[in-house]
Structure 1
Amino acid sequence: MKCSLAGGALLLTLAIAGCDRRSETPAPAEAPASPAAAESASTPPAVSPTPVAEPATPAVAAAPAFAAVYPGAELAGPPLAATGPAGPGGVVTFTTDADPDAVIAFYRERAEGAGMAIISSMNQGEARAYGAQNQANGANINVVAAPSEGRTSVQLTWSEGQ
């Protein structure tokens, strides 16, 4: 038993060490030809996803507007609804042809419209995650969008708050 725990710990340590990017040496940068080129090289391009024109449908009956299924999405299974300490809420998974940035922008706009403030954001490779909460009533939303087999796979969780 102790041997298998030690072996598991060793494998986990090696996996984490393999993901450490601090040890990578960056390639030397070439000097820009002009100050304007230097400014454009240091500023990443702004992402402005195309606005969604189709209406969105609620994930479940009586779900708040911020918990709508992305327009044109295909559900991966039936949405789950539950009630917890933060009020009624649910989970829905689906796929869409939209890219992860467009999906996150759609839900960010809805969350801000519901008085929520961002509490988490993550970009890892092409995957995106976003979380927001209304401090006054506890309503919250969490969205994870990642490319999968030529489409974007999305998991949306929400709570209406008190």
Structure 2
Amino acid sequence: MSTSSQNDQQRQSLIAAHSAALRLLTLAPIPPTEISVRCPAHAPEEPSLDVHFYRNPEGVRLLAATLDAAVSAGPHSATRPALYTSAATDVSRIPVLIWTLETEPEGGADPAPREEDDIEFGVAATQPGDDWETHFVCDSRAAAEKQIADYGHMYRSCRLVQRHGRHGAWTEATS
């Protein structure tokens, strides 16, 4: 497949996947926390959707029921017994994975939060010609600072940001 036809295929697949994501949003009894659209360059004809409900198994069950998909639930892994609830289905011929990960089941508990876990660091970057910022989440402040040092020259603007908790608003990072 030539690069041009591969790009056209990937573009069409992305459009189809975004259309399926919009359909999911209109059908979902509870809006999901996030929907990720994937269509890798090495497989432009294989788009997929990843639908995540943050600690909300009911959201997974309700959307799965709406789509007539079977739900499965079980431990996330042998070393992490947190309950993983998921359903797999297709929407408009696009594969969809709907999932959530709950806190540890009874008898196991999430580790006590550390102070640095309360703050999440990232990079806010603006491409030349764009009027919006893209946020990149990093594992730590040091990792965010390294991203800026390594890749900051590629952006019109690039700055260190932070937020409190996963769903907090991004603000300028404080020292």
TM-score (norm 2): 0.30
Whichever of the two has the greater Rg, that structure is 1
- Greater per-residue helix proportion: 2
Q: What TM-score does the superposition give when structure 1 sets the normalisation length? A: 0.31
Between the two structures, name the one with larger relative contact order (CA 8 Å, sep ≥ 6): 1
